Amino acid sequence: MSEYKQYLDEAIKIAKVAGKTIKEAFENRQFISDHLDIKQNNSSDLVTVTDQYVEKMVKSHLNKVFPTHSFIGEETTAANNNASCNLTNEPTWCIDPIDGTTNFVHGLPFICISISLLIKKEPVIGVIFNPILNDLYTASKNGGAFLNDKPLPTIRPIQPLETLEKSLIITEYGANRSEESIKAKLDTIHQIISYPVHGIRSFGSAAMNMCYVARGSCDIYYEIGIHAWDVAAATCILREAGGVVVGWEPYQDTSEPEKKKLKTGEEKDTEIISEKFDLLNRHVLCIRQLAEGPKKQNEILAEVRNRLINFKAKRD
């Protein structure tokens, strides 16, 4: 029995309850349009009363069951003027009540509730539930990943990916519409699509994007501007499905003094697939399990990294 089973069971239970509320609201177009707002005067960053209600419901349930645990949620953070996340090594629930709110508002069914438990800043369980498509993704550290109780990846046998040229890639434009952001994202898309690759897709939900990589339906996902609650649960799911989740740049421990990082002036090259992933760093790069194994994952991730055009995004 997994040491994380009790956490996973509670997360699944509340995700299903919340899913009913999300689905009922999704099917009531008038209710959504009557209860729609925008964040920080940004018309591309939407929030509904359902987002807020679901987050309160999930937080209330988890607080009762695990009263010593901490909590980070999208709407709680937004209500606190997007204050920095106080993420410690203590058990912390990381919640996105509706990932894909714009899809939710427009009636596009790529939405989900995303629930993760972090211990020592690492996702140890992940639950992502799309109540419209009735897709329940679950995972626990060293316990495997599943879609509706069937092991991930669902595409079997595990497919090879000989070159980046043969890949189907996912990315998003995000809610940041500054000139710098738009230029960097469009220039990166140009670098990727002109490689060329088979294609680029956008499903409008970071959690759903990563789940489609975990399934084996898409090969790679990259995005800048995401938040911890967008990707925490999916990180656990994708890793347990044999995938790799890293940042756009080599991992650096921000808590370490600079002198400790540069002990000799020469750092060893670390394989990308072995890097830690900083959940608060606002960018993600991931790849599915490959038939060729980790060496090929590392090679293709390096190729993608060489084409990513970064810009500064404030840490969570």
Per annotation, catalytic residue among 99, 219, 240, 316: 99
Q: Please identify which of the residues 95, 98, 224, 272 carries the catalytic annotation.
A: 98
Catalytic annotation on 187? no
Alpha carbon distance 212, 141 (integer Å) = 19
Told to judge if 74 belongs to the known catalytic residues of this protein, a careful annotator would answer: yes
Q: Nearest to residue 146, comparing CAs of 125, 119, 166, 162?
A: 125
Whether the Cβ atoms of residue 249 and residue 302 lie closer than 8 Å to each other: no
Selecting among 101, 138, 188, 235, the annotated active-site residue is 101
74 in a known ligand binding site: yes
Please check if 99 is assigned to a binding site. Answer: yes
Please pick, among 96, 172, 223, 240, the residue that the annotation labels catalytic: 96
Q: Is 75 marked within a binding site?
A: no
Is 98 tagged catalytic?
yes
55, 230, 275, 278: which one is catalytic? 230
37 is catalytic: no
Is 162 among the residues known to form the active site?
Answer: no
Nearest-angstrom CA–CA distance, 64 and 85: 22
Place of tokens 């680029």: 200
Tokens of 101: 């709110």
- 230 marked as part of a ligand binding site: yes
101 is catalytic: yes
* 137-168 b/e (C-beta count within 10 Å ≥ 16 → b): bbbbbebebbbeeeebbeeeeeeebeebeebb
Annotated binding site: 74, 96, 98-99, 230
Binding site residues for Mg(2+), as ranges? 74, 96, 98-99, 230
Catalytic annotation, residues: 74, 96, 98-99, 101, 230
